[in-house]
Structure 1
Amino acid sequence: MVDTVDCVVVGAGVVGLAVARALALQGREVLVLEAADAMGTGISARNSEVI
């Protein structure tokens, strides 16, 4: 188990998972937190597509 991570992404919706993937591809240790039972199932209702 990792004691520290480089980045924490809150929310495992489409945008959160895309950000987490981009960070991981850069070699960062990423932790994704999600309140729902399944990842990638939420919808960004007010997403302006700005990261």
Structure 2
Amino acid sequence: LKGLVIRGKKGPGGITIKKTNQALIIGIYDEPMTPGQCNMIVERLGDYLVEQGL
């Protein structure tokens, strides 16, 4: 399920959502975390779950 990521930003914070076969992984961040850090964590977790068949 490639390309199933939604990102949003408001002020210093934001959200990253990744869809897997059976779940939505939702990461909400605010300073000092950066958008790139949140994206990386959520997407890697989502990729891992997809690899596991979830």
Compute the TM-score of the two structures, normalised by the length of structure 1. Answer: 0.39
Compute the TM-score of the two structures, normalised by the length of structure 2. Answer: 0.37
More strand by percentage = 2
Between the two structures, name the one with larger relative contact order (CA 8 Å, sep ≥ 6).
Answer: 1
More helix by percentage = 2
